[in-house]
């Protein structure tokens, strides 16, 4: 008996909206990553992009537990000597609120070409509005 794999034409993609208001960052990120990868579908295949699109709204109102607001740092490096930049989560929330959610979700995706492809299906917005109403997204609890 042969194993059947879904082709790109057979995979049906849906759009989901996750509201990040008062949601814990890690729990929201794991739910979004699961949807992006497609693990919630019965036809999940680890090496294929079978997941759905995810829209995260109210990213600026996401909740961090404990003292992470002061102790968590976001780091980036330019590639040059001495090119490390650090900023606290509190500062990142003010300057670029979508970065916290994007980096949390990106960290839960595969570190391969497939992971980059999956990350492109994620849309994060700081406020409560998004321009994807035409796709008829389904609201989902975070």
Q: Please write the tens of the pLDDT for every residue from 12-62.
A: 999 999 999 999 999 999 999 999 999 999 888 899 999 999 999 999 999
- Check if the beta carbon of residue 25 is closer than 8 Å to that of residue 64: yes
Predicted local confidence at residue 142, as pLDDT: 73
Tokens encoding 139: 């609201």
First to last CA, the chain: 40
* pLDDT tens string 65-122: 999 999 999 999 999 999 999 999 999 999 999 999 999 999 999 999 999 999 999 9
Q: Does 3 score more than 90 pLDDT?
A: no
Q: Which of 111, 125, 134, 109 is nearest to 51 (CA)?
A: 109
pTM for this structure? 0.92
């Amino acid at each position: 008996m042969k194993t059947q794999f879904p082709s790109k034409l057979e995979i049906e993609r849906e759009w989901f909206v996750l509201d990040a208001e008062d949601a814990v960052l890690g729990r929201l990120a794991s739910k979004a990553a699961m949807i992006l990868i497609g693990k919630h579908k019965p036809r999940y295949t680890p090496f294929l992009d079978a997941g759905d699109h995810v829209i995260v709204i109210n990213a600026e109102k996401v909740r961090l537990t404990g003292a992470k607001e002061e102790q968590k740092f976001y780091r980036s490096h330019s590639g040059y000597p001495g090119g490390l930049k650090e900023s606290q989560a509190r500062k990142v929330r003010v300057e670029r609120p979508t970065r916290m959610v994007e980096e949390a979700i990106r960290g839960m995706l595969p570190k391969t070409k497939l992971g980059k492809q999956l990350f492109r299906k994620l849309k994060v917005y700081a406020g409560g509005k998004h321009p994807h109403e035409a796709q008829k997204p389904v609201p989902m609890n975070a």
